[in-house]
């Protein structure tokens, strides 16, 4: 579709669905302008309607549904105003709605081993139109209800990261990550029958403390040689909430403190965290850990209740969430991707039988 056609189509969609006291393009109250990276809603002021967050969100809902599946609008937390290059005070501002062409599409990898051999650039393929540069990852947080596909997605990440990073795997449930690690001859920290939970978390703290010491050592090297490139080191913790609940307060506080220190200091030294849990409230991890992670993934049921911890400012209304297992939302905060939340379909891949 060409630009004039899309503009006409959007004008018609907004005229029919927006209730603005009779204001429309027919009364010359606003117009739509299409650009490569999105479209502008240009109100003519003074206007007989409020130009605020509510109006912005209404336009988003109408336009996102109307443009699907040719375009996907990128959800904003509040009204996105931009100035226009004109001397006419009546149309010097606009609401901007960024988009990308098409929709999120699931990546199907029939031969994961081939991909791993060919992947030499530390890129993690997530969807057909989304790759993550692991060199720019500080931390990955994966949240979702039971049965949503968290473990499957974590297994995929482990397969990819095993080729580019040293892994320290902590598995409180002694479940999927442990079976994956056994098949790849990687040690796992997991509970044992003859030990208390506090004893187990103490062992976890010892491992995290050793990672923190590595970070300090690497910082000393960077002080002398800022361009030095380290090998990646990734701490993977499945079901974090199972670690932090029901243990001695002193041990829990130490665990939280170590996690915060690694999250805050690990970026420049290529030490990463991958954390998985059904929810990420303050009982699971400190707020600083959530804030430092730059890849946030919510899988499964999407609502304002389930997104309140990873995306506290997001109203998911209007976002078209794909149906099926392993679907949800993702946000990648770096200098390569739009910072807005995107619909997510986790990859489908094929590997050895018995891991999942």
**pLDDT value at residue 351:** 63
Cα–Cα distance for residue pair 350/116, rounded to 1 Å:
12
64 contacts 72 by C-beta, under 8 angstroms: yes
Tens-digit pLDDT string for the chain (356 aa): 589 999 999 999 999 999 888 889 999 999 999 999 999 999 999 998 999 999 999 999 999 999 999 999 999 888 999 999 999 999 999 999 999 999 999 999 888 887 777 777 889 999 998 999 999 999 999 999 888 899 999 999 999 999 899 999 999 988 999 999 999 999 999 988 877 888 999 999 999 999 999 999 999 999 999 999 999 999 999 999 888 787 888 999 999 999 999 999 998 999 999 999 999 988 889 999 999 999 999 999 999 999 999 999 898 989 998 888 899 999 999 887 778 899 999 999 876 554 44
pTM confidence score: 0.91
**pLDDT value at residue 355:** 46
296 contacts 311 by C-beta, under 8 angstroms: yes
Which residue from 333, 174, 341, 170 is spatially nearest to 267, judged by alpha carbons?
333
DSSP E strands in the chain: the ranges are: 30-35, 38-43, 71-73, 81-83, 93-101, 108-109, 123-127, 130-133, 139-144, 165-170, 188-189, 232-237, 271-277, 295-299, 327-332, 342-345, 348-349
DSSP E strands in 36-90: the ranges are: 38-43, 71-73, 81-83
């Amino acid at each position: 579709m060409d630009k004039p056609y899309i503009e006409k189509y959007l004008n018609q969609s907004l005229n029919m669905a927006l209730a603005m006291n009779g204001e429309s393009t027919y009364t010359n109250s606003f117009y739509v302008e299409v650009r490569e990276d999105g479209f502008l809603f240009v109100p003519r002021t003074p206007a007989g309607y409020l130009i605020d967050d509510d109006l912005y969100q209404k336009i988003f809902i109408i336009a996102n549904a109307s443009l699907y599946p040719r375009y996907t609008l990128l959800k904003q937390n509040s009204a996105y105003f931009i100035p226009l290059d004109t001397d006419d005070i009546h149309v010097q501002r606009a609401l901007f709605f960024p988009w990308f062409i098409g929709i999120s599409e699931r990546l199907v990898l029939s031969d994961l081993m081939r991909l791993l051999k060919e992947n030499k650039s530390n890129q993690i393929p997530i969807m057909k139109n989304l790759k993550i540069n692991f060199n720019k990852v500080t931390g990955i947080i994966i949240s979702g209800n039971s049965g949503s596909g968290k473990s499957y997605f974590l297994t995929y990440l482990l397969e990819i990261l095993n080729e580019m990073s040293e892994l320290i795997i902590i598995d409180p449930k002694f479940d999927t990550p442990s079976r994956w690690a056994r098949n790849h001859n990687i040690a796992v920290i997991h509970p044992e029958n003859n030990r208390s939970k506090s004893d187990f978390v103490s062992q976890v703290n010892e491992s995290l403390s050793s990672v923190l010491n590595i970070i300090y050592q690497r910082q000393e090297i960077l002080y002398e040689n800022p361009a030095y490139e380290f090998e990646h080191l990734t701490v993977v913790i499945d079901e974090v909430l199972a670690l932090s609940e029901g243990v001695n307060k002193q041990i829990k506080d130490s665990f939280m403190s170590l996690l915060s220190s690694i999250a805050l200091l690990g970026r420049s030294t290529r030490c990463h965290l991958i954390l998985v849990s059904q929810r990420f409230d303050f009982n699971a991890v400190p707020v600083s850990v959530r804030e430092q992670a730059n890849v946030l993934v919510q899988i499964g049921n999407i609502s304002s209740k389930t997104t309140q911890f990873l995306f506290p400012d997001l109203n998911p209304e209007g976002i078209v969430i794909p149906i099926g297992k392993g679907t949800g939302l993702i946000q990648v905060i770096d200098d390569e991707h739009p910072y807005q939340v995107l619909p997510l379909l986790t990859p489908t891949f094929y590997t050895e039988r018995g891991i999942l």
